[in-house]
Amino acid sequence: MGFWELLPHLLMLGMGVIFFTLGRKAARGELKPNHLVGLRTARTLASEEAWYRVHARAAPYWMAAGAVLVLVSIAVLAAAALGRLSLRTSQLALALEVLTAFAAAVGPLWADANAESASAPDPETERLERGTLATLLGFLAFILLVLGVGLGYLLATGAIGPNGAVGVRVPETLASPEAWYRVNRPAGWAFLLSSLVGALACVWGAFALPRARRPWRVLAIALGVVLLSFVALGVYTAALLSAL
């Protein structure tokens, strides 16, 4: 496999190092309130005590996720160097890496949602935060509906032939028009379905966030559905390629 196919695993390796480093610093109480890294929410920014308490809870998540990302990424890169890495194995490993990173990002927020905050966040700050998150979910839903559903339909109906920009573009599908349509037609329908499911999840989250008692759980569920739908798309696409 070439550099571009391995690039996501290299990025996940770097992310794993970052997660593990942040986890160690948070566990030692060395991650101070800042405007760059950490869980910067209305809850954690309400006081230094809340910041350190939440980040102490986040430390085990981040260290475990960092270790998994580093180990999986190194294993994939080593297999590629030895010429023993298949496309399906690479995609499954990437799905595991993405799920691990997602769990590390939302796990601490989910766990802290049940805990009482030592200092309640300012109501206006919390309202603005909820509104911003709802707007972002609405924008993501728009992108998924316009680009995801539209592109998926064009691929599924065969309106997009072999090209250098969109579709499942690997040596196997670019070898012939027959192989291209054999993979990209069913993959197009799967892409359309994944985009539609993700868009509906985002719309639900955008409407539920402003009134939710635990907004971070709503956000985690909406983004989790989007993520899982596209992980399923990747697994299905890998199965189509293996059947060529």
Q: Answer whether 56's CB lies under 8 Å from 118's CB.
A: no
Neighbours of 11 (CB within 10 A): 15
Confidence of residue 169 (pLDDT cuts 50, 70, 90): confident
SS3 assignment, position 132: helix
Average pLDDT on 82-103 reads 81
CA distance 84 to 64: 27
Task: Indicate left, alpha or beta for 47 from its phi (over 0: left) and psi (-120 to 50: alpha).
Answer: beta
Q: Are residues 143 and 184 in the same domain?
A: yes
Q: Please compute, for residue 170, the number of CA atoms within 13 A of its CA located in the half-sphere on the CB side.
A: 19
Q: Are residues 167 and 206 in the same domain?
A: yes
Q: Does residue 55 surpass a pLDDT of 60?
A: yes
Q: Are residues 87 and 145 in the same domain?
A: no
Q: Are residues 204 and 188 in the same domain?
A: yes
Residue 179 has a pLDDT of 93
Q: Are residues 10 and 22 in the same domain?
A: yes
Q: Are residues 112 and 14 in the same domain?
A: yes
Confidence of residue 196 (pLDDT cuts 50, 70, 90): very high
**The domain boundary residue, chosen from 119, 151, 173:** 119
Percent of the chain with pLDDT over 90: 33
Cα angle value 189/191/193 (rounded, 5°): 70
Instruction: Provide the whole-model pTM.
Output: 0.63
Q: Are residues 87 and 140 in the same domain?
A: no
Average pLDDT on 96-124 reads 65
Neighbours of 54 (CB within 10 A): 22
Q: Does residue 121 surpass a pLDDT of 60?
A: no
Residue 25 has a pLDDT of 93
Q: Are residues 127 and 144 in the same domain?
A: yes
Q: Are residues 186 and 128 in the same domain?
A: yes
Confidence of residue 23 (pLDDT cuts 50, 70, 90): very high
User: Is 21 exposed, middle or buried (CB count within 10 Å of its CB: 0-12, 13-18, 19+)?
Assistant: middle
Q: Are residues 22 and 114 in the same domain?
A: yes
**The domain boundary residue, chosen from 69, 99, 119:** 119
**Residue 234 contacts by C-beta under 8 Å, 6 or more apart in sequence?**
91, 94, 95
Q: Are residues 9 and 102 in the same domain?
A: yes
Structural domain tally of the chain?
A: 2
Q: Are residues 91 and 192 in the same domain?
A: no
Cα angle value 100/105/110 (rounded, 5°): 110
**The domain boundary residue, chosen from 68, 99, 119:** 119
Q: What is the residue range of 230's domain? A: 122-244
